[in-house]
Amino acid sequence: MVRYPCLMAIQSRELSTTAAFDEWASSVRGLVAERDAVILAHNYQVPWVQEVADFVGDSLELSRLAAQTDASVIVFCGVHFMAETAKVLAYDKTVLIPDLEAGCSLAATITADQLRAWKAEHPGAVVVSYVNTTAAVKAESDYCCTSANAAQVVSSIDPDAEILFLPDMFLGAHVERVTGRKMHIWMGECHVHAGIEPSDIDRRFAEFPSAELHIHPECGCSSHAAYLMGEGMLPEGRAFMLGTGGMQQRAKETDADQIIVATETGLLHKLRKNNPDKEFIAANEAAICKYMRKITPDNLRKSLEEMVFEVKVEAEIADRARLAIERMISIS
């Protein structure tokens, strides 16, 4: 079962040996079978979660998997808004999250009340909400989007319509650049991605001059990278603005031997595992999401043992949020 004991040892005090991981993983897999469950893990989860999960993916892939699964129970190893999205799309299933404190600093930047007030200032505007929002905010939205499809969703909207885009300002600026559409953008940010700065990119390029750059559009340095690209200061075809799923794809396709990765460092595990002949360099080693790290070996097992913590969304909110998510899925 164990494939990456060294990485696990670094990232989990509880599972510091191969034997400890094997014992824990087989008890978790036993509970998964007993509960007729499926474990979905986001790309940012630590290696031992990724290794025990049934599926590891980006937020769009995981939404799709939640909607399609035959399992009765979904254990979501990610953050709360992702588990809520799974519940909205698989309403008859039991959705569990091992720790209710697994929040998201970006989703926390806007409430449903704030969105209603913003909409009142722009009657008739089309609301596009990034998936990193609560179900209550999605219920107030016309479209949901992820980093993988935000530009595609915006491009599908009537060119004369006014657009309210929320909550991430860096992703909003990226979508404006790609689509050429002017939007009203909510001034939210993710503290992890905003912390990856232009100086980190400059420093990494100085160290690895021929590396390719993969940058998440939520990053504080994304505008800087776009500027460098626009000015021709990054060689053609060397910098890519991608969601976490797009980074996996590009890593497989590229001929580059070294890739600078500007996003949460949990993504490096799968990149390295799937591409052993390439070197992946974190743009900023400190880009760690403390909310994603709320999932621990103990609370994941306890979640299955005790069937906690159940993620609930009011039916009326789920119905409206589902419309926004389904509109997104039908476009991308």
Residues making contact with ligand 13P (CB under 6 A): 43, 58-59, 132, 146-147, 190, 218, 243-244, 264
Q: Which is nearer to ligand SF4, 5 or 188 (CB)?
A: 188
Token pair 């799968």 in the structure block, residue: 270
Q: Which is nearer to ligand 13P, 190 or 324 (CB)?
A: 190
Q: Per-residue b/e over 97-121, b at no fewer than 16 CB within 10 Å?
A: bbbeebbbbbbbbbebeebeebeee
Q: Which is nearer to ligand SF4, 28 or 82 (CB)?
A: 82
CB 228 within 8 A of CB 239: yes
- 136: exposed, middle or buried (C-beta count within 10 Å: 0-12, 13-18, 19+)? middle
Residue 224 sits at φ, ψ, to 5 deg, of -65, -45
Token pair 């974190």 in the structure block, residue: 282
Q: How far is the CB of 61 from ligand 13P (least distance, A)?
A: 8
291 near ligand SF4, rule: CB under 6 A: yes
Q: Which is nearer to ligand 13P, 45 or 94 (CB)?
A: 45
Residue 58, contacted partner among ligand SF4, ligand 13P, none, CB below 5-8 A by kind = ligand 13P
Q: Which of 190, 229, 239, 313 binds ligand SF4 (CB under 6 A)?
A: 190
Residue 63, contacted partner among ligand 13P, ligand SF4, none, CB below 5-8 A by kind = none
49 near ligand SF4, rule: CB under 6 A: no
Q: Which is nearer to ligand SF4, 104 or 157 (CB)?
A: 104
What three-state secondary structure class fits 174?
helix
Q: How far is the CB of 294 from ligand SF4 (least distance, A)?
A: 10
CB 251 within 8 A of CB 275: yes
Q: How far is the CB of 190 from ligand 13P (least distance, A)?
A: 5
CB 196 within 8 A of CB 177: no
**Rounded CA gap, 131 and 137, in Å?**
10
Rounded to the nearest 10 degrees, the angle between the axes of helix 315-331 and helix 59-68 is 110
303 near ligand SF4, rule: CB under 6 A: no
264 near ligand SF4, rule: CB under 6 A: yes
192 near ligand SF4, rule: CB under 6 A: yes
76 near ligand SF4, rule: CB under 6 A: no
Nearest to 68 by CA among 80, 57, 77, 52: 57
Q: Which of 106, 164, 196, 213 binds ligand SF4 (CB under 6 A)?
A: 106
Q: Which is nearer to ligand SF4, 32 or 264 (CB)?
A: 264
List of residues contacting ligand SF4 (CB under 6 A): 79, 104-106, 132, 190, 192-193, 264, 289, 291-292
